[in-house]
């Protein structure tokens, strides 16, 4: 090898050793950048998740905010149903004033039902429907010739708001008659 080649090789070798710390520093910085980018992406994803959960919670809150009020109001509605069902039909037919009073009670009941339905509050009156433990509470088994598991008696109507149960319908469920 010529003297000139030896000098060039030494210079290259010296440059390589000098550039190694620089390469290490660059490598460290690239690693830090990658790490910071990863953390940033995770933080952004978490922020999106928090926003989504907050939006869902706000929607639920606004949808079911009137649940307590509705639970109280359905008691009033049920009293109107009782009043209409137990009205003395003969006396109503005999007296025009009593007829007007009975009509007013019936109209009030219908208006209350419209208001409840407008606010997605629905009455559950499951007579002759299959028993559904999600919406009905069986309080008695009644011997019947009807299909077993069929609701044959409604003691108290139930109510839902949207897809959430406010109160279950209290029902009597058919069971096969004993032989």
The pLDDT confidence band at residue 115, using thresholds 50, 70 and 90, is: very high
Strand partners, 141: 173
Q: What is the mean pLDDT of residues 3-28?
A: 69
For the stretch 30-52, pLDDT in tens is: 999 999 999 999 999 999 999 99
Q: What is the pLDDT of residue 10?
A: 63
Whole-number CA gyration radius for the chain = 38
Query: For the stretch 76-95, what's the b/e string if a residue is b when 16 or more beta carbons lie within 10 angstroms of its beta carbon?
Result: ebbebeeeeeeeeeeebeee
Domain spans, the chain: 1-65, 66-176
pLDDT at 152 over 90: yes
The confidence score (pLDDT) of residue 67 equals 84
Over 80: is that where the pLDDT of 88 sits? yes
Instruction: Write down the CATH number for the domain with range 66-176.
Output: 2.30.22.10
Contact 126, 151 (CB under 8 A): yes
Q: Which helix (H) or strand (E) holds 127?
A: none
- 169-176 and 151-156: which strand pairing? antiparallel
Q: What pLDDT score does 178 carry?
A: 62
User: pLDDT band at residue 163, thresholds of 50, 70 and 90?
Assistant: confident
Number of H helices, E strands in the chain: 4, 6
Q: Residue 22: what pLDDT?
A: 85
pLDDT (mean) for 10-14: 59
Q: Which helix (H) or strand (E) holds 130?
A: none
Mean pLDDT of 128-143: 94
Average pLDDT over residues 154-176: 93
Judged on CB neighbours under 10 Å (0-12, 13-18, 19+), 40 is: exposed
Residue 61: pLDDT band with limits 50, 70, 90: confident
């Amino acid at each position: 090898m010529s003297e000139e080649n030896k000098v060039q090789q030494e210079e290259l070798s010296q440059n390589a050793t000098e550039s190694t710390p620089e390469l290490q520093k660059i490598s460290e910085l690239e690693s830090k950048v990658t790490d910071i980018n990863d953390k940033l992406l995770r933080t952004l994803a978490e922020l999106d998740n928090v926003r989504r959960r907050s939006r869902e919670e706000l929607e639920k809150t606004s949808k079911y905010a009137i649940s307590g009020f509705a639970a109280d109001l359905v008691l009033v509605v049920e009293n109107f149903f009782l009043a209409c069902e137990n009205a003395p039909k003969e006396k109503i037919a005999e007296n025009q004033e009593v007829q007007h009073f009975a009509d007013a009670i019936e109209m009030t009941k219908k208006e209350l039902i419209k208001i409840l339905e407008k606010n997605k509050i629905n009455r559950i009156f499951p007579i002759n429907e299959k028993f559904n433990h999600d919406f009905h509470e069986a309080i008695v088994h009644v011997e019947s010739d009807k299909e077993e598991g069929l609701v044959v008696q409604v003691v108290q109507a139930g109510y839902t708001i949207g897809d959430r149960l406010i109160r279950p319908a209290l029902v009597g469920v058919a069971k096969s008659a004993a032989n």
